Homo-oligomer: A and B are copies of this chain.
Amino acid sequence: MGVTKLKERIIQKGSDLFQVKGFTQTSIQDIVETLDVTKGTFYYYFTSKEELLMEINLRYINDVLEKQVAIMGNHETDARTKIKEVMTMLIKNIDKQGANAKIFFRELNNLNEKHLKIMIGKRKEFYLNLQTIVENGIASGELRPDLRPDIVTFGILGVCNWSYHWFDPQGELTDVQVAHIFADMILNGLEVKNAELMLEE
C-alpha cells in the first residue's frame, strides 16, 4: 500500500471514530488497531491526535472556501443566484462529507490555541465572503436594503449549517432539494404572495 494511501486511510478512520465516539473518547490506539498498523505509523504522519483533527478541519474549510470563491468569481450570475449556489454547496457538503462535516461543526473546541486561531480566521473569511455577496446584492438593487447584511448572513449560514443535525442522506429529499426549499424561503419568504415564484437556476 502506498504511503499517501495509508495517510488517507488514517484520516478516514480517524474521522469515522471521532464522529462515533467523539474526539476526546477516541485514542490513537483505537485508530491504529482498527487499521491494523502500529502507533509508529500514526506518528510518521501526525505528531498528535490533535494534528489529525486539524487536518480534517482544514481540508473541510479549504474545500468549502475554494468552492465559495468559484461561485463568487462567476460574473454571469447575480447575487440571488450566488446565495442559492452557496447554500446548495454547503448542504451538499454536509451530505457528501458525512463524518468530516460533523467533526468540523462539533470538535472545534478540541483544537489547540494556534490551530483554533487559524480555523476561526478561515471560518470568518467564509462568513465575510458571504456577507460581501449579500452586500453586493443590496447595492445592485436585488436584495432588501432594510435588513442588516451581517445578521442576514448569519441567518443564511444558520439555515444551512444546522442541517448537519438532521439531514438524512437516506431521507425523502436530496441535499439539492432541501437547499432549494431553503433558498426559496430565504429569498422569497413564507408569505402566500410569494408562493411558486421560481428562482433562476
Q: A: which residues have CB within 8 A of B?
A: 22, 24-25, 80, 83, 106, 109-110, 137, 141-148, 151-152, 154-155, 157-163, 166, 173, 178, 181-182, 184-192, 194-196
Contacts and interface: CB of A to CB of B under 8 A. Distances in A.
Contacts of A22: 24, 109-110
Of A106, A141, A154, chain B has the most CB atoms within 10 Å of the CB of: A154
A186 B152 CA distance: 10
Copy number in this complex?
2
Contact of A146 (B83, B145, B152, B195): B195
A83 B142 CA distance: 26
B147 A185 contact: yes
Nearest to A158: B162
A151 B189 contact: no
A159 B142 CA distance: 22
Contact of A173 (B151, B155, B182, B191): B151
